[in-house]
Each structure stands twice: as structure tokens, then as C-alpha cells.
Amino acid sequence: MILLWLILIPLIGGLLSLPAGHWRDRAPGWVALAALAVDAVLVLTQFADTGAAPQTAWLAQIDWAWIPRFGIRFHLALDGLSLLLIALTVFLGFAAVLCSWTEIRERQGFFHFNLLWTLAGVIGVFLALDLFLFFFFWEVMLIPMYLLIGIWGHENRAYAAMKFFIFTQVSGLLMLIAILALVFLHYQTTRTLSFDYFELLEADLYPGAARWIMLGFFVAFTVKLPAIPFHTWLPDAHTQAPTGGSVILAGVLLKTGAYGLLRFVVPLFPGAAQDFAPIAMALGAVSILYAAKLAFAQSDIKRLIAYTSVSHMGFVLLGVFAGNAAALQGAVMTMLAHGVSAAALFMVAGALQERLHTRDMDKMGGLWTLAPRIGAITLFFSVAALGMPGLGNFVGEFLVLLGSFRVDTAITAFAALGLILAPVYALYVIQRAFHGPASPREVRDFGLREMGVMLFLVAATAWMGLHPQSMLAYTDATVNGLTRTLAQRGT
């Protein structure tokens, strides 16, 4: 039942947030924090029950009949990969609520309702092992995020929200078509109608059919990742989203695309995935370099960080389709480390916009002397994003490059150039926003609330860099299962 409560508590918290706005100011925020605190206790309890290294692939499951006529079940399951991503979701939920504490002044109850329901949808995505249920949660997280951007976003929010909705909705419908095709082809061979993940793993598909269905899943997940050429919605969504929305979007929602590749594309279609791997790895390498180049060309700090997200998620795409243990573990570490560092950088960008009323770095400068704590935090996470050894991003990207080098040397060498471009755009932000002559103005530095959140994210990034095995141990069983599947069925 712990799995069901992980989803229900944010849903209930969201419903309670709606009337809380009429009780007193900030009450919806306190309700949201309380709901996330309960979820955090459940997550920590699961970590305590699991121990330092899971002994089995699946740590907990519930499987109930839902719509038996169509073979649809309410099937939730938790493994080490899901546990880590849910922990990331819950703790970035805290960051999103706290960074919105003073930014959101209107309709606070409805804001926290949408925020918590987005998180509930994401947790459902990480737990669902019935493909219809997975699609249901995939859609649940779409509408609240659309409303977060469209209502509380900035000057061009309507355009950004609609673009986000169109890209994700169309790709979601493509995934639904692929799911139905997979289920019907499985039914033709077994005469059993089922959306269950474990049954569909045994589906006997013709190579041509497997290739086309795999592409349907692949496009849906790479739109959410996103990867070139499906990335154009992300910079607009990030630029216009409120800070809390950007934290959830960068830290959590993008990871649902990467999770889909790991959980569904590779295991369900191992042969097709291996055939498609050179193209997917090339797309990952192009995403790394092209997005890094675009990041350097930006003057809007949020837009720059958005393009760096596209670049870093290219490493995930590269690692997933390299298909060996090192690359897959690197992809997971990159998901976790990028989730933390990108969330922190968007919190910095949101704080600067709240104080300066601009995102244009040309109108900044000299902020290091005016707000040294903001400067120090920005420098730390800029260094983390460029892959400094000893921090989590370095571990993930190094493992991805190590694993992919064994598969395709040329693509890996091309992708590694991203490690040269990353310091360029990272130091570009520091130079333009924090150095140079200071303008004659007062800039409020980070206070206790903001520094508390940031120091927690700093500690998480350092822990992943210094003790990566504490994370990798939880995904060993999942990664080993993927590599065995590719070895046995990818022929």
C-alpha cells in the first residue's frame, strides 16, 4: 500500500491546498510542505527497509484488477531506479514550494494544487507497470504543468504553455497508438488481451512491426527528454514558467522521458533498439553539441539554462542506447545529478528575476559584490554542470562516455567535445552576471530559507560525486536486467 499512498498523498494535499488559500496567507504552501513531508517519510522508510543495496529487482508491488474486460490492471511496482527518481521528485518538490514562497502572490491555493498534482502524476509514471495506467499518469502530469506555465508564467506565457501542450500532447497520442499496436499484436499471437508490462515483455513481434512501434515510444519519450530535433518547446516553457514550475520541469519532468527509454523502449524492443542505436546515439551527440552552442548564444539566463538541459540530457540518450552497464549507470547518474543542478540554477535565475525584474544578463553585472551568497551558489552549480570531478554530473557523464566508447568511438569522441563547450557557457554566465562593474542598486542576497534549500542541493550534488556507489547500488539489478535482455533477445 505504500506505493498507492505515494501517489494519493500529493493528490490529497493538492485538494486541501485549494481551500487553504482562504484560511490565511501562505497556508497552501504549508499544506504542500506537509504533504511532501509525509511522502518523504514514506520514501525514507522504503530506503530503510531496502538497505544499502537491494537484494531483489522489485522492492514492492501492488497488482489489482481495474478494467478486466480489456486486460487493464492497476499495477504499481517499485525497483531501485524508481525509488531514486521518486526520492528526487519529492525532494525537488520541497525546493519548488520553497522557492515559490514569495514569488507566487495570487491564487496560491490553485498554484500548489497544480504543483502537487504534477508531482503525483510523475510519481505514478515512475511506478506504473500497466501500459494503460502509465499513459494515464503521463497525461495527469500534463494539464497541471500547462496551467502552471499559462497562469503564473511571465510575459509570453500563453504562447509557451500552448507550445508545451501541443508538443507533449501530440507525442503522448503517438505513444498511445504505439501502446495499442503492441497490445493488439500481442493479442493476435496469444489470444490474451493485456496491457501488463511483464506479459508484453514476452510479446513475439515481427522485426518490422517492432521497429515501428519502438519508434512511436522513442519519439514520445525524446520529445519529453528532449532531444534534437524535438527540443524547441523547452526553452520557451522554461523561460516563461514560474520558478517552481521550472524546477519541476527541469528536475523531474524531463526525467520521465529518460525513464521511459530505460523502462519501456529498451526492454520491450531489444532487437529494434539495438538496430536503432547508432541513430539514437548520433542524435544524443548532436544534442550535446548543438544545444551547448545555442546556450552560449543566449542573453536570457533562463533560456541559457534551458539549452544546457537539452545538452546534458543528450548524454542520457547516448548512454541508454550504448546499452552496456557502464553507460546505463552513467545515464541514471546523469538524470539524478542534472535534476539537482538544473533545479538549483533555475532557482538562482528565478531569484535574480524576482530581485532585478529582468532575465537579461546584459542588464546584470557586478552581482558578486552585491549578493555574494547568490554568486557563490551560482558558481558551485555552474562548475557542477560543466562536469567538475568530485561532483555528481562528472560521474554520470564519465560513465556514459566510458560505456559508449566501447560501442562507437567516433560518436563518443564527437560527444566528448561537449565537455569543452560546457565550461564556455558556464563561465559565460558567471562573467556576464556576476563580474564587471556593479550598478548602483541594492540587491537582496539569499536569506535563510533560500540558503537552506541551496545547501541541501549542494550536499546532494557533492554526495553523488564523492559516494556514487550509494546510488549505483540501487540500480544494479535494473541495469543488469537490461544488459541481459539486450544480450539474450537483441540478436
Model pLDDT for residues 456-467, shown as the tens digit of each residue: 999 999 999 999
Q: Is the pLDDT of residue 434 over 60?
A: yes
**Which segment of 109-118, 342-351, 470-479 scores lowest on mean pLDDT?**
470-479
How far CA 224 is from CA of 21, 138, 168, 174, 260, in Å, comes to 32, 11, 7, 13, 10
User: Tens digit of pLDDT for each residue in 223-244?
Assistant: 999 998 899 999 999 999 999 9
The pTM of this model reads 0.94
Whether residue 284 contacts residue 318, with contact meaning beta carbons closer than 8 Å, is answered with: yes
Average pLDDT in the 267-294 region? 94
Confidence of residue 64 (pLDDT cuts 50, 70, 90): very high
Q: What was the pLDDT predicted at 439? A: 67
The pLDDT value given to residue 489: 62
Average pLDDT, the chain: 92
Candidates 288, 359, 289; CA nearest to 318 is 288
Give the per-residue pLDDT at 432.
Answer: 85
3 state SS of 86: helix
The answer to whether 404 and 412 have CB atoms below 8 angstroms apart is yes
Is 50 exceeded by the pLDDT of residue 266?
Answer: yes
**What per-residue confidence (pLDDT) applies to 333?**
96
Q: What percent of the chain has pLDDT over 90?
A: 74
Q: Domain limits of the chain?
A: 1-489
pLDDT over threshold 70, residue 61: yes
The pLDDT, as a whole number, for residue 368 is 87
State mean pLDDT over 174-189.
94
Q: Which stretch of DSSP H or E encloses residue 342?
A: helix 325-356
Q: Is residue 221 scored above 50 in pLDDT?
A: yes
Cβ atoms 311, 292 nearer than 8 A:
yes
